[in-house]
Amino acid sequence: MKSKTTALSQQLQLYTHNPALVIFAWMLVAAAALAAGLLHALVGNLILVAGVLACLLLKHLSRSLDGLCRDLLFISLTAGFMGNSLLTYSLAGISVTPFRLLMLVSAVVFLAGLLFSGSLELEPIYVQDYLFFFAFWFFYAFISLAWAPDKFAAISDLLFFFLSFLLIFFTVYYIRTPRDISSLYKLWLVMAGAFLLFALFENITGLHLPISKINEYAPHLRQIPTAVFHNQNDFATFLALSFPFFLALARYKQGLPRLAAVAFIPLLLYILVETRSRANYLSLGLQLFFFYFFLLRGAGKLKLAALALGGGLLTFLASPGTYIRAWNIFSSQLSQLIAGFSLDYGSVFVRLNLIQNGLLFLFQSRFFGVGAGNVEYHMAHNPVFDTRGIVNMHNWWFDLLVGYGAIIFIAFILFYITLFLNLYLYWRRGGEAVRFLVEPLLLALVGFTLASISSSRITYLTFIWALFGYALAVLNHLRSNNIVEEDQ
């Protein structure tokens, strides 16, 4: 009997030792529960979180609590990438998702670990200045409750910002070793690859998840992909920021990883064109411009030009119909973008009027901002310029400026520029291993400047905060190890 118990224990340890297996099992259970409709969404969320926690406790029994928290972080990130596509429940008007529950559980486990350890000392962090900025931002958002007219919207925004700050903090705190950073890089690539394959299925069949807004579109537009996102702009933003991860993999790795990257890059470009997200076309173009003129040297520039021409020719010869379709969509969207500046209707006209209204609200607030989550309230109740009923700013920079005022806006600009410059300095002085980590972050930060004006509101896109957390984790790792000239 004892031998059977020991064998069972060893088997359980085998299947719970790998976080990837836990993540995969979690996704299967979530998909099955959603498809079968056997569980209420809120109950399903609670069961999933309890199951994940139980699996991790089995794995980390008598081991480090940090390992438990680190695995919780990876599973939370996986849930965050999935967004609202699975088991979302509205509680008092606030969406309850696996990601949000898991982040709260992570916070409880973290605090419990500090209390039971008998010491409140934390591991040294070398990007404290950036974390202090986010803490100050959260404090300012909390203070803005005093003048925000829509208290519920402000509290909802504050809650999600708190969870996003937790995600950034836990990423910096637990992602320290090269192995952890590599695991996070792989997670991003795996999620992006899975979304691309599903998007190709959407593009071919016209079938989408229930969350997709495309289900409401006319039949001839059903081929627009959205993957696990609500609309194509959110998905396109994710693709634009994921592109440099595949590019760095193709540039710095050999063998199967490079082949996989080379296979997925054309698919990503095709799916991005199919989203019809013009701001993300520009975002990708800006990334390529920066890559070509600032990150490539003479021979590399010639090689890239040759590869681009050769790849384009091969794509045309292999599937001329697909190539022509993609080109027609791309050129049509750019033509509409250019024409939109001279028209008194359409998306460009609406976006310009949204900005004008936002600036008026900012002046009226004496540059303190209208308050957390309250831009939409003012746009709905106090518009001066016609926005065709649209209340979201559709522009991260102006949403930030109007919502939180000049102080937070300037602080974020400083955060963004200094983060970019610090990473760029490590890229210039580092060896190939350092550049492999830093280069996709540099390009993603460059692309973010334009990708962030595509979605209606990117505050609720978890992968944006995951990107900031990942960038800070890499910078923290480089600073903590004083890595300057590795592999030169």
Closest CA to 452 of 403, 399, 402: 399
Whole-model pTM: value is: 0.86
Q: How far apart are CA 82 and CA 45, in angstroms?
A: 13
Structure tokens at 378: 């003012």
Task: Give pLDDT tens digits for 11-67.
Answer: 444 444 455 455 555 555 655 555 555 555 555 566 566 656 666 655 555 456 777
Closest CA to 122 of 130, 111, 132, 133: 111
CA-derived radius of gyration, the chain: 23
Q: How far apart are CA 17 and CA 266, in angstroms?
A: 36
Check residue 244 and give its pLDDT.
97
Please count the other Cβ atoms lying within 10 Å of the Cβ belonging to residue 368: 16
Q: How far apart are CA 474 and CA 457, in angstroms?
A: 26
Check residue 102 and give its pLDDT.
87
Structure tokens at 15: 């299947």
**Which residues of the chain register pLDDT less than 50?**
2, 4-5, 8-9, 11-17, 20, 62, 485-488
Structure tokens at 45: 């969320």
Q: 170 and 180 in contact (C-beta within 8 Å)?
A: no
Please count the other Cβ atoms lying within 10 Å of the Cβ belonging to residue 254: 7
- Indicate the angle between helix axes 396-429 and 128-143, nearest 10 degrees: 170
- Indicate the angle between helix axes 320-340 and 298-318, nearest 10 degrees: 110
Residues in a beta bridge with 90: 95
- Indicate the angle between helix axes 41-60 and 19-36, nearest 10 degrees: 160
Task: Give pLDDT tens digits for 144-160.
Answer: 999 999 999 999 999 99
Q: How far apart are CA 72 and CA 112, in angstroms?
A: 14
| 385 phi, psi to nearest 5 deg | -105, 145
State whether the Cα torsion 289-294-299-300 is positive or negative.
negative
Check residue 326 and give its pLDDT.
63
Q: How far apart are CA 5 and CA 8, in angstroms?
A: 5
